[in-house]
Structure 1
Amino acid sequence: MTPTLSLLRDDGPDAPLLIVGPSLGTAVTPLWDACARALTGPVTVAGWDLPGHGRSAPDPGPFTVADLAESVWAATTALRQQNSHPTRYAGVSLGGTVGLQLALDHRDALAGAAIICSGARIGEPDAWHERADLVRRAGTPVMVSGSAQRWFAPGFLERDPGTGTTLLNGLQHTEKDSYAACCEALAGFDVRNRLSDITIPILAIAGEHDQVTPLPFAQEIAEGTGGRAELVPDAAHLAPAEQPATVAGLLTRFLTQEDA
């Protein structure tokens, strides 16, 4: 399993490195591109795609969130070695769980992580296994209607139909067995009792209208890690795409404070 990387912004070898991760069912570029461009100050932003999503090759699994985290860490080795700054990470939903795993397993080499619209545990294992079974039988198009409701705050699809359509089209073309394997990885993920082991700075961000991982999920992460929780108004589950300027502002402040 080797995630395909995309440089969303490259401000040169002396710019701090931020690795960004996607949500289940999304490609990293449409999810993160506007937010990456809105970040203030020099930064290089590298995104990675989940198996069978975006530009990454399919992988039917099984794999765990820890496996995904190690694959991301390996795939970014050259970028991290070429950069003189400490590496930071930001991830959405499943990408956020990867961030928590990286914070546990690579705390000596990771300088901070933003966990966005995510949780130390997301949903119930049985529900994830049921979704995996459904998608293996019916394909990812069966998820489009429900995801449109979960992903976006009221009015977003009317306000920015281009971004919304691109993200939903990406879901429709995601490889079904890889999507199902990602569901099963989420079914097995639970680090609630390990949050206190995380010693790097953590920023936990929630969307105001997120029904999947609402504000208490971010607050649990912040309280457990000694980090900070923030709420993004007028956003649901894909905050960097829905409110790129607001999320970029939070990330810029987080990165700048850590540099200081």
Structure 2
Amino acid sequence: MARPTLKAVLLSPQRTLGDKPLLIVGPSLGTSSLVWAQAGSLLANDVDVVAWDLPGHGVSPAATEPFSVAELADAVVELVDSIAPGETFHYAGVSLGGATGLQLAIKHGDRLKSLSVQCSGAKLGTPEAWQERAETVRTQGTAVMIQGSAGRWFAPGFMDREPELSSRLLHSLRDTDRFSYAFCCGALAGFDVRAELGSITVPTQAVAGAEDSVAPPSFAQEIADGITAGGGTASAATLEGVAHLAPAEAPGHVAELLRSLIFWAESRGAAK
């Protein structure tokens, strides 16, 4: 296994980094920085928002060999150091991006100011199911996932209300490199940090969609309970009418939750 290469997309106005809090946001499998575009725009006046794309997704180059979620977390730190060397940052991620956030908090907690884990869990699915999906996509391409992903990603009625955004997100899935997608499935197959949640000390919020069949609200509660059991600070929240892509489905709610967490963590840090 090897650390993959990630590329960034700036979602806030071009300006000197460091004057405002830095927020790094991570995507779901099969999506790109687009999933964060609206929520990032709502935060852009107060926070520097930088999104990263998974290998073979969006602007990031395709992966050529397997990697783990822990190696994705290492790659995020490497990416941050390329734009703001040594800086601490706030982090929010959805699904695989959220799993990467948990791994960041476990392995690189000294770099994080706060963590928002959205539509994710300390373990997602089963290794067998992920390996089966990886093989399907390797042989048939990512287009085979579009119908199933549409049903998982969006709550009922969302595609009718937001046809352009939902279409663009599904197109990003179609355009994803099939082998990189399969490597991401392999990373999720090996991901299980339930026993390590108690080591997380960074202030954390776990956000779930009430309609999410992939990472239901019980997963968010498990994250919060695991962190608080170890003495950390964490809370869980459920968004009604939301499935698996909270930042795209409910950008206003997500932006408000993030703004509250970031400003609280910043004021807490200033008071030390």
Asked if these proteins are the same fold (TM beyond 0.5), I'd say: yes
C-alpha displacement of 1:111: 1.0
Distance in structure 2 (CA, Å) of the matches to 1:41 and 1:165: 28
Quick check: 1:67 aligned with 2:49?
no
C-alpha displacement of 1:80: 3.0
Which residue among 219, 226, 237 is the counterpart of 2:244?
A: 237
C-alpha displacement of 1:181: 0.5
Alignment of 1:1-260 (within 5 A): 1-10=4-13, 12-13=16-17, 14-28=19-33, 30-39=34-43, 42-81=46-85, 86-226=88-228, 227-260=234-267
The alignment partner of 1:2 has SS state of: coil
Q: Is the 8 A contact 1:12 1:44 kept in 2?
A: no
Distance in structure 2 (CA, Å) of the matches to 1:37 and 1:117: 20
Distance in structure 2 (CA, Å) of the matches to 1:242 and 1:249: 14
Where does structure 2 lack aligned partners over 5 or more consecutive residues?
229-233, 268-272
Distance in structure 2 (CA, Å) of the matches to 1:16 and 1:115: 18
Where does structure 1 lack aligned partners over 5 or more consecutive residues?
none
The alignment partner of 2:110 has SS state of: coil
The alignment partner of 1:99 has SS state of: helix
TM-score by length of 2: 0.92
TM-score by length of 1: 0.96
Distance in structure 1 (CA, Å) of the matches to 2:16 and 2:225: 35
Q: Which amino acid aligns with 1:27?
A: S
C-alpha displacement of 1:79: 2.8
C-alpha displacement of 1:250: 0.6
Q: Which amino acid aligns with 1:2?
A: T
Greater CA drift, 70-79 or 111-120: 70-79
Large movers: runs of 4+ above 2 Å: 10-13, 78-83
Q: Is the 8 A contact 1:49 1:55 kept in 2?
A: yes
Q: Which amino acid aligns with 1:173?
A: D
Q: Which amino acid aligns with 1:47?
A: A
The alignment partner of 1:76 has SS state of: helix
Q: Which amino acid aligns with 2:175?
A: H
Equivalent pairs: percent with the same residue? 49
Distance in structure 1 (CA, Å) of the matches to 2:69 and 2:82: 22
The alignment partner of 2:85 has SS state of: helix
Q: Is the 8 A contact 2:11 2:44 kept in 1?
A: no
C-alpha displacement of 1:61: 2.3
The alignment partner of 1:166 has SS state of: helix
The alignment partner of 2:218 has SS state of: helix
**Alignment size in residue pairs:** 257
